[in-house]
Amino acid sequence: MNTQDINKRIRLIMDLRNKGIVDTDVLSAIERVPRDEFVPAHSRDQAWEDMALPIGLGQTISQPFVVAKMTESLGVTDRDTILEIGTGCGYQCAVLSYLARRVYTIERHKYLQVDAEKRFEKLGLRNITAIAADGMKGWPVINGIKPEPYDKIIVTAAARSKPPQALIDQLKVGGKMIIPVGEPGAQILKLYKRESEEAYSVKDVMPVRFVPLLPDVSHEHNDVAVS
């Protein structure tokens, strides 16, 4: 890593601190993940700026502040098993992998999922399992094995009015889920905590802008812009 890249990382971390991110573990994870590996080649000069960038198929890599805020709000620990809905380019998942025991991630675009897995392999991130599936249904039964309830769930696409019930059902009692909710232009990042088998609490975190949470596996065959 050259001096210029180091300086860009330092500036981003200082910017996140100034914007209110205080969890040093989260800041350290963001500093360690090379964001330039997760953006298209033509955007790499902007990789360490605090902005969202397009990655192809109508998807974006989230703004680092939003990644940091969502991660910080969950209070991730090295004992946690996390479910992520919306792998995208894999950046948020990579950040989580430095904080959690295990991360399971679902992407509806097969091309994005495959490319993300290549990045995880390149970076030596061994605690991630990624599949292409319908994230609105949660983690599927695979080889007859049912998914265990997750300590934390993070959703990087916006539900219209409330989280899918399948995701709430896969959250442990005492576990937390962060998800954007609302129509385009009026989305609020919400933190849900499952208080019991039947009840959960909800806290508004901040206004956000995300692509919509959609069902099924995409059958688009357009090339992905990320390389």
Catalytic annotation present for 43: no
For residue 10, give every residue at least 6 positions away whose Cβ sits within 8 Å of its Cβ, in sequence order, or none.
none
Closest to 191 in 3D by CA, of 137, 134, 153, 148: 153
Closest to 127 in 3D by CA, of 89, 63, 170, 79: 79
Rounded to whole angstroms, how far apart are CA atoms 64 and 31? Answer: 10
For the chain, strand residue ranges (E) read: 53-56, 59-61, 81-85, 102-107, 128-132, 150-155, 171-181, 187-194, 200-208
User: Position 21: which residue type?
Assistant: I
Q: How many residues does the chain have?
A: 227
Rounded to whole angstroms, how far apart are CA atoms 46 and 24? Answer: 24
The structure tokens listed for 22 are 């205080």
List the catalytic residue out of 62, 161, 196, 201.
62
**213 phi/psi in degrees, rounded to 5:** -80, 120
Rounded to whole angstroms, how far apart are CA atoms 37 and 121? Answer: 12
The structure tokens listed for 42 are 């033509």
**Residues that are catalytic:** 62
